[in-house]
Amino acid sequence: MIGGNESCTAGPVPMSYLTCLTYILGEWTGVEHIEDYLSYAVYLLWVLFPLAVVFLLPGVLIILFYTSILLLHIYKRKNELKEAYSNDFWDGAKQMLATLWDGHGRIWHGYELHGAENIPEGPGLIVFYHGATPADCVYFMAKLLIQKKRICLVVADHFVFRLPGFKLLLDVHGVMHGPKEECVNALKKGYLIAIAPGGVREALFSDEMYTIIWGNRKGFAQVAIDAKVPIIPMFTQNVREGVRTLGGIKILRSLYERIRLPVVPLYGGFPVKLRTFIGEPIPYEPNITAEELTAKTKAALQALIEKHQKLPGNIFRALMERFQTQKKED
């Protein structure tokens, strides 16, 4: 019996391996001129490959999150005896994950943190603009832990607590789902807390104009008043150019409002320059109302956006800023 490779090379005109494979596939499927269909399939793959990449790249963040969870389980397994006798059992794990995320931020985005001196020594409520993903907030928390040895808690949307496998990660980092009493108690204990009042709605449906979408949310302001702490505005330059959403499609907005789950597709994952800017604190005032403090905070955040973000956002420009040595102030 003659093998496949041997039959292809036999005869006066030897076939190439690709031609041979096409011939065998045509014989096996019974499709005439199968090489025309294969050529068309290769052409489609060539055309659609860049599109597939921009939708798959955001998955790197998911991989990093689950890598973090795996490392926490390994850390816990290797230190089970220490857990019973130590109050700071997870400190080493937090440093390890901070190093992982800080490394990713610096390598992929050239991440920088500016204005860290505006963060008070005591408690405070950090209010930030929510990009399509919370990666910039994670980079900030990692940088703060590495540089200042300070832990910043964060308030997350309810759906995050339903993600499979995330419980250990959320517990270790003290992620909260946002009851006012819990936030006030944490602030009174001296913690920093980060919160994005726009939440998932702002993440999915804001745009390259960096529109702040808070609706009537003012609970964060009441938390700051009750805890008697300052509010610190925070904004990350180019955060919407790194990952974008298809939030402009009206049917997706209607679907989100009905089921309250982040069903809007993301695309991008581009290695754009990310710089986080910390604004001057808004001090606690005993006679201010939640509505007034909300307006004041929104104005401060809008000022940071206008100062540090060129509008509308542009992906190519954000990529080119990786090669700039000085941050843009205008």
Torsion of CA 297, 298, 301, 307, to 10 degrees: -120
For the sheet containing 152-154, what is the strand order? 112-114, 275-278, 231-237, 124-128, 192-195, 152-154
Buried b (16+ CB within 10 A) or exposed e, 253-279: beebeeeeebebebbbbbebbbbbbbb
Catalytic: which of 33, 73, 104, 130?
Answer: 130
Query: What is the full DSSP assignment across 243-271?
Result: EEE-TT-HHHHHHHHHH-S--S-EEE---
Instruction: Tell me the torsion sign for CA atoms 136, 137, 138, 142.
Output: positive
Who's near 189: CB < 8 A, 6+ residues apart?
123
CB 25 within 8 A of CB 34: yes
CB 131 within 8 A of CB 272: no
Long-range contacts formed by 320-327: CB under 8 A, 24+ apart: 321/238, 321/272, 321/273, 322/110, 322/271, 322/272, 322/273, 324/273, 327/112, 327/114, 327/237, 327/275
User: What is the Cα–Cα distance from 200 to 238, expressed in whole angstroms?
Assistant: 18
User: What is the Cα–Cα distance from 137 to 143, expressed in whole angstroms?
Assistant: 10
Active site residue 114: no
Instruction: List active site positions.
Output: 130
